[in-house]
Amino acid sequence: RFYEKVQALHQDPKASVDNPLLAFSLIKRLHSDWPNVIYSDEATTNTQALHAGLREVEQELPGTEDLDGAARALMRLQDVYALSVKGLASGVFQRAGHPPLYSPGRRAALSADDCFHVGKVAYDTGDYYHSIAWLEEAVSLFRLSYGSWNLEDSSSLEDALDHLAFSYFMAGNVSHALSLSMEFLRYADPSNQRVSRNVAKYKKLLKMGTGTRGRWDWQGCHGPPPPLSPPHALLGPFSPQPAPEQLLHLSCSYETNSSPYLLLQPAKKEMVRIQPYVALYHDFITDAEAETIKGLAGPWLQRSVVASGEKQQKAEYRISKSAWLKDTADPVVRALDGRIAAVTGLDLRPPYAEYLQVVNYGLGGHYEPHFDHATSMKSPLYRMKSGNRIATIMIYLSAVEAGGSTAFIYANFSVPVV
């Protein structure tokens, strides 16, 4: 059955990259499902060959950090677009009362083990808001399939009940924690002493009439519980139309910007807003140029960093990988720099501008509200000859199936991908 599932997914490999659920499943399959199958007692045929084959490619496969990052990406999509966990688990990207945000070519449902892993990632960081939602779905799916067992799974109904009960306890819902713990003892492991002690303490708390959060007899719980109100979507609804006084100044035009470079092939310019100044250039880069730039940057991509005081460091509010390309990297980069200089009228030669930064946001990547320019005099930008940033030009190198807009939160509008 596992082999049949893998074979079906291989029929359309591109879908595994486009669909966030399939991408998560692919990472999980490579990191844990295949090893579970290969090292299982059932894999008796060609055992040595299977083990040797896995060891040969093991270093190139996704690691724990990759899988946990993919799980956090699904939670981020859940929050930003107000998606239900039950809908996501069944392969539907839709918020209540709205049309589907995204209709993938191949619909992919998550398994109980998949949902457990997402919930466990949240659980391990003390994020009980997300752990409850995902572990609830895992328990529901495990109950539906109870009695059947998948060779590739690394979790069970007992695991999901155990973690969900403690998540509810940490959230202050002692009665539900008791109910789940009783189910664990009834159907899973009646002799489990730790869960039995927790049941006794849950009953004592309820008898005392208190739902005080506490902690006992559990290994692997990290830090105090976070605030339990649902995380708000990072970006709310935006005004679809500019203010009337701006409409008079918004237009589309062919622009040369007095540049000989654009004389025979003017830039297709669409004014989006006057304040702040936002212009959209159509057909600015060819598909072939985009593929060349992605190919050049690919081997150099590293986790993006942000400025923090005088240091550059990784941050959870910017999830992406990036690389920097000099104009000497390829004639395509040099031509693109020349095109940008022509439409902006700015000098892109060092040290007046930074190199071309190529960013891959991957699965559910994002950059929370921020300024592109430095806001602190301690920023390294002030020590660079180029000085602080005065303008940003963004170019999409890939088609985006859903989301991906650039939002200007103070001005209350966003620019979609074109």
**pLDDT reported for residue 244:** 64
Residue at a domain's end among 159, 183, 208: 208
Q: In terms of domains, do 354 and 278 share one?
A: yes
Q: In terms of domains, do 195 and 319 share one?
A: no
Structural domain contains residue 55: yes
Give, in order, the Cα–Cα distances in Å from 315 to each of 30, 66, 355, 380.
26, 16, 22, 17
Q: In terms of domains, do 165 and 259 share one?
A: no
User: How many domains, the chain?
Assistant: 2
Assigned token pair, 309: 């005081």
Q: In terms of domains, do 166 and 278 share one?
A: no
- Predicted confidence band of residue 198 (pLDDT cuts 50, 70, 90): very high
**pLDDT reported for residue 305:** 57
* CATH code of 404's domain: 2.60.120
Please say if the pLDDT value at position 54 is more than 90.
no
What would the mean pLDDT of 295-309 be, rounded to a whole number? 75
Structural domain contains residue 220: no
What would the mean pLDDT of 252-267 be, rounded to a whole number? 94
Q: Residue 351, preceding bond cis, omega within 30 degrees?
A: yes
Q: Which residue has the tokens 């579970």?
A: 36
**pLDDT reported for residue 220:** 36
C-beta of residue 91 within 8 angstroms of C-beta of residue 109: yes
Structural domain contains residue 263: yes
What would the mean pLDDT of 51-58 be, rounded to a whole number? 59
Structural domain contains residue 237: no
> Angle at Cα 64 formed by Cα 61 and Cα 65, nearest 5°?
100
Q: In terms of domains, do 111 and 188 share one?
A: yes
Structural domain contains residue 81: yes
- Bigger pLDDT: 53 vs 152: 152
Please say if the pLDDT value at position 217 is more than 60.
no
Q: In terms of domains, do 384 and 273 share one?
A: yes
Q: In terms of domains, do 202 and 315 share one?
A: no
Q: In terms of domains, do 175 and 253 share one?
A: no
Q: What's the order of all strands across the beta sheet hosting 321-325?
A: 302-303, 321-325, 356-360
pLDDT tens per residue, range 272-291: 998 889 999 999 999 999 99
pTM exceeding the 0.75 threshold for the entire prediction: no
- Bigger pLDDT: 316 vs 345: 345
> Poorest-confidence range of 3-12, 83-92, 328-337, 361-370?
3-12
- Predicted confidence band of residue 97 (pLDDT cuts 50, 70, 90): confident
Structural domain contains residue 228: no
Q: In terms of domains, do 279 and 389 share one?
A: yes
Q: In terms of domains, do 183 and 258 share one?
A: no
Residue at a domain's end among 208, 236, 260: 208
**Spatial distance between the Cα atoms of 267 and 343, rounded to a whole number of angstroms:** 7
**pLDDT reported for residue 47:** 60
> Poorest-confidence range of 195-209, 218-232, 367-381?
218-232
Q: Which domain holds residue 369?
A: 244-415
**pLDDT reported for residue 224:** 35
- Bigger pLDDT: 99 vs 295: 295
